[in-house]
Structure 1
Amino acid sequence: MLPTLITRFVGWVISVFHEVERVGPAVPSGPVILAANHPNALVDPMVLFRTAGRPSRPLAKAPLFHEPLVGTVLRALGGLPVYRRQDDPALMEGNQGTFDAAVASLHRSEAIQIYPEGISHSFPSMVALKTGAARIALQAEASAGWGLGLVIQPVGLTYTRKHLFRGRVVAAYGMPIGVSDFRARYEEDPTAAVRALTDEVSRSLRELTLNLEQSDDRALVETAERIYASARRLAPSRERVPMARRLPRLQRFARGVAWLRATDPDRYADVLESVNRYRHLLALLGARDGDVPSRYRVGGIVRYVARQALFLVCVLPVAATGAVFWAPPYFATRHLAPRFRPDLDQVATYKLAVAILAFPLWLAFWSIPCFLVLGVRGAVGLWTLGPVVGLAALAWKERGGRVLEDARIFWRVLGRPRSRAWMTRERGRLVEIFEELAEEMPEDYEPPGPSTTE
């Protein structure tokens, strides 16, 4: 019961911090290993708690279990410590106990989380997978006489602005991989079976994630996809398209960038210059998401203004109350987390750690006067209405931010008619280039991926 409650609470917390999307098949019942890439430290397991649809026991590096808040949560969730060489080589013998506990958990038809990259990172692509997940899976099946029915379900996590509050993440669940399918190979050569299963997980994860050769490629790929989607009416110019819909296009553009750079560097440089010039103008016009409309229609403008104004005016009183009430813990989280100087892949984790302490403490602080003045009903009302007005403030802030951006683009475009005309022409030219390159690129082209490591 407790792990289920904690899973739901943690899942709700991450859905407030990030916009979380999910695609792919459901997690099956029975024993499951959820194998995910690891780009965002402790945020990654929280996303899985939110999207898996069932409780799961996370495997996490051993030092986390000694931290007061994180360690308590991990132990309550049945987390299993992983002893890494870079943390303390002398403790690595403890991994056998972790392996045995993981196998026992799977024998009880539970689900466990494993991050086979072995590290949280901000590299533009996945790193080589370690073989621990495959070894646990094959050991569990073999010790159960190959009748366990264990599967490994790959989960690809792709973030946008992962270190920021209200960043976005899509959890792409792949088809489960049957571990018993590797029985014959395991009985013939266990080491080869472990590598084969690890390679299969790696292949699936790469299909579910956005992998780039260079960090700078992300901006190029994002801009190219925005241009193409707008020109081909795959997405309205000023609409925030779900990441789940964008991911397949982003992946294809990423492969295209890698292929063009490898086969025709001069042509790649020309395309890069053109896309960067377009992106620079988007930035000057203030377009963070989406593209700039080719034209504005009076009827559409009137409907847009009426719809947005109705929402902003009606929600404003509640949102203002929430903004004022929650301002202290909000700004405490915003300013305290950077003082720890975390790496990029740990920024969101530190923010969440501060927030999980600051927000409940702030609510508990105000519960005391509410209880003394209004009794139990007052305290219960505060705990009920406090989150509601906070979510209203968040919704108003996001909607207001988008309206302000749209208005800024509208007025800047009106003052630069030549810029809008140039963007329309350039958009069409770039789309023709993209489609020409798509025809030239081999359909099965894949950039070389990392090899398996022990």
Structure 2
Amino acid sequence: MLAYRVMRAFLRLVIRVFYRQVEVVGAEHIPQDGPVIFAGNHPNSLIDPVMIVATAGRFVHFAAKDVLFRSRLLRVFLDALGAVPIKRRQDHGADDAGGQVDNSAAFDALFEVLARGGTMGIFPEGISHDASQLSRLKTGAARIALAMAKRHPELPVRIVPCGLNFIHRRHFRSRVLVQYGPPIEIDAERIAAHDADERAAARALTDDIDQAIRALTVNAPDWSTLRVLDGVRRLYQPPRIPLAHRVELARRFATVYERVRDEPEVVGLFGRVKSYLERLTDLGISDGDLSRPPRPGAALLGGLRQLWWLFVWLPLAAPGVILHAPIGILVGWSSQRFTPRKDVIGTTKLLVGVLMVLLIYAGLITTAALTWGLAVALATAAALPLSGFATIRVLERTASLRRLLTRVVRAFSLRREMAELKSERAALEEAVLDAVERHIPDDMQPLYPERLAAR
């Protein structure tokens, strides 16, 4: 338990550094006692369980594919987190042979965790992926829950759905929304159905889990469709909305689009938004450049503010840039060189970055202790993370200043093109609001209804 608490605190620190914003919604749905199975989508490899461990507030044991335990470094990490190795057919050649693998020991370990009133986490998709929607869920989570409820009818077994929504999931200092939904309880009716037909009951429960996870995530047939729908979302929303509202709007547009995609009006609007976004890309501008164009006075004040904070952080960041720049270069290179799949890039960046920082910090602190004594070593241990934080702040302020200058330059150099696009955007905004009024389901309350009422 102590190792888990230490590791969880460390992981919370890591994700707070790696991500600019981590927002948690629905934590009140997590039962504070009794057996719980966390079941989530799996878009970002090993970062996904890290997110749940760091935000769930309970000791979560994850079922992890056994091949991960072959790495000594990962094994130490996984053991500290109480992970349980589980065999997958595709990792042991059983898929091609049509055979099975023996996971009885793994299931017994998970049953023991749940029987003690503990929690476990599982990703029913089975493997991390970079698709634009959920894969077909496997029945493992449902089978564990049903078997556990049958073994221990005195315990309330619940499945808590998790939605992991990453904004630019491969980017350092991006944002992530972690959502927990209402728990699915394994009641007497489900147990009776399991007694009658185990396979059908497991599939029915899996379908319920699928719907619960979809209610917390954004799903579309392909990335091209998702990009256009994200453009529709920006045309509808007011400026600067919370991350949770951004994801919820995107989810709603994706859900309703699947129902009305063949309507002639929707087909035409989809094509217009797609053409609008393509022209933005061709000109190198964003929708925000049109919806929130830089005003000279505001741009000047914003630039001065960024410069002020840049100079505030620069003295602390100066040694940090020299130290951390090679780490950043190595992380960027390794994430492209050693990651065959896009969904693993974020994990590679995080693992390589953490490993390099720990090694360099340990080396410098040890050198300071051996050369100048304990007092200097302690001062070095305090100065290194402070300098690293200052480096991040300087890089962020520099990026913000560069974006501001770029927006100002484009606003002047592309005046004619941007004027045309502003007119097109205004027309598209009206068309989107019309479509929302016409096609929003009766049982769906609109987000930002004032956008519709003000017309």
Give the whole-Å Cα distance in 2 for the aligned partners of 1:328 and 1:295. Answer: 36
Q: Could you tell me which residue of structure 2 aligns to residue 154 of structure 1?
A: 161
SS in 2 for 1:300: helix
What's the TM-score once normalised by structure 1's chain length? 0.88
Give the whole-Å Cα distance in 1 for the aligned partners of 2:74 and 2:197. Answer: 39
Q: Could you tell me which residue of structure 2 aligns to residue 174 of structure 1?
A: 181
Q: Deviations over 1:28-55 (max 9, x none)?
A: 2222111001111111111112221223
Q: Could you tell me which residue of structure 2 aligns to residue 436 of structure 1?
A: 434
Change (3 A) 1:319 1:269: farther
SS in 1 for 2:290: coil
Change (3 A) 1:287 1:415: closer
Q: Could you tell me which residue of structure 1 aligns to residue 448 of structure 2?
A: none
Amino acid at match of 1:140: M
Give the whole-Å Cα distance in 2 for the aligned partners of 1:226 and 1:370. Answer: 52
Q: Deviations over 1:58-94 (max 9, x none)?
A: 1111111111222221122111112111111569543
Q: 8 Å contact 2:294–2:411 — kept in the other structure?
A: no
Give the whole-Å Cα distance in 2 for the aligned partners of 1:119 and 1:431. Answer: 39
| Aligned residue among 22, 25, 37 for 1:23 | 25
Give the whole-Å Cα distance in 2 for the aligned partners of 1:107 and 1:56. Answer: 14
RMSD: 2.4
SS in 2 for 1:208: coil
| Aligned residue among 207, 210, 215 for 1:207 | 215
Q: Deviations over 1:419-452 (max 9, x none)?
A: 3332332222111211222233361799xxxxxx
Q: Could you tell me which residue of structure 1 aligns to residue 255 of structure 2?
A: 255
Q: 8 Å contact 1:15–1:50 — kept in the other structure?
A: no
C-alpha displacement of 1:333:
1.7
Give the whole-Å Cα distance in 2 for the aligned partners of 1:225 and 1:313. Answer: 37
Give the whole-Å Cα distance in 2 for the aligned partners of 1:334 and 1:297. Answer: 35
Q: Could you tell me which residue of structure 1 aligns to residue 453 of structure 2?
A: none
Change (3 A) 1:49 1:442: same
Change (3 A) 1:278 1:306: same
SS in 2 for 1:94: coil
Amino acid at match of 2:399: G
Amino acid at match of 2:40: A
Change (3 A) 1:423 1:189: same
Amino acid at match of 2:14: V
Gapped runs of 5+ residues in structure 2?
A: 445-455
Give the whole-Å Cα distance in 2 for the aligned partners of 1:137 and 1:426. Answer: 52
Change (3 A) 1:58 1:295: closer
Aligned residues with identical type, % of pairs: 34
Q: 8 Å contact 1:103–1:137 — kept in the other structure?
A: no
Amino acid at match of 1:177: I
Change (3 A) 1:97 1:295: closer
SS in 2 for 1:159: strand
C-alpha displacement of 1:291:
4.3
Q: Could you tell me which residue of structure 1 aligns to residue 5 of structure 2?
A: 4
Give the whole-Å Cα distance in 2 for the aligned partners of 1:50 and 1:282. Answer: 38
| Aligned residue among 308, 314, 329 for 1:331 | 329
Change (3 A) 1:242 1:15: farther
Q: Could you tell me which residue of structure 2 aligns to residue 217 of structure 1?
A: 225
Q: 8 Å contact 1:286–1:408 — kept in the other structure?
A: no
SS in 2 for 1:392: helix
Amino acid at match of 1:29: Q
Q: 8 Å contact 2:290–2:422 — kept in the other structure?
A: no
Give the whole-Å Cα distance in 1 for the aligned partners of 2:270 and 2:135. Answer: 26
C-alpha displacement of 1:350:
1.9
What's the TM-score once normalised by structure 2's chain length? 0.88
| Aligned residue among 117, 120, 130 for 1:112 | 120
Give the whole-Å Cα distance in 2 for the aligned partners of 1:289 and 1:274. Answer: 14
Amino acid at match of 1:24: G
C-alpha displacement of 1:211:
0.1
SS in 2 for 1:216: helix
Q: Is structure 2 residue 172 aligned with structure 1 residue 165?
A: yes
Change (3 A) 1:198 1:291: farther
Q: Is structure 2 residue 102 aligned with structure 1 residue 94?
A: yes
Give the whole-Å Cα distance in 2 for the aligned partners of 1:12 and 1:437. Answer: 44
Q: 8 Å contact 1:22–1:172 — kept in the other structure?
A: yes
Q: Could you tell me which residue of structure 2 aligns to residue 451 of structure 1?
A: none
Q: Is structure 2 residue 318 aligned with structure 1 residue 345?
A: no
Amino acid at match of 1:41: S
Give the whole-Å Cα distance in 2 for the aligned partners of 1:302 and 1:337. Answer: 37
Amino acid at match of 2:158: V
Aligned pairs for 1:77-92 within 5 A: 77-89=81-93, 92=100
Q: Deviations over 1:242-285 (max 9, x none)?
A: 43220111112223443443333xx5554344323432454466
Q: Could you tell me which residue of structure 1 aligns to residue 43 of structure 2?
A: 39
Q: Deviations over 1:397-423 (max 9, x none)?
A: 123212211221122112333333323
Q: 8 Å contact 1:226–1:291 — kept in the other structure?
A: no
Q: Could you tell me which residue of structure 2 aligns to residue 245 of structure 1?
A: 245
Q: Deviations over 1:160-215 (max 9, x none)?
A: 22222223321111111112352343344433332222111111100100001112
Give the whole-Å Cα distance in 2 for the aligned partners of 1:193 and 1:155. Answer: 21
Q: 8 Å contact 1:56–1:110 — kept in the other structure?
A: yes
Q: Deviations over 1:75-117 (max 9, x none)?
A: 2211111211111156954311111111110111211110011
Change (3 A) 1:150 1:106: same
Give the whole-Å Cα distance in 2 for the aligned partners of 1:263 and 1:312. Answer: 51
Give the whole-Å Cα distance in 1 for the aligned partners of 2:126 and 2:404. Answer: 42
How many aligned residue pairs are there? 435
C-alpha displacement of 1:235:
1.8
Q: 8 Å contact 1:22–1:171 — kept in the other structure?
A: yes
SS in 1 for 2:165: strand
Q: Could you tell me which residue of structure 2 aligns to residue 70 of structure 1?
A: 74
Q: Could you tell me which residue of structure 2 aligns to residue 142 of structure 1?
A: 150
| Aligned residue among 303, 317, 328 for 2:315 | 317
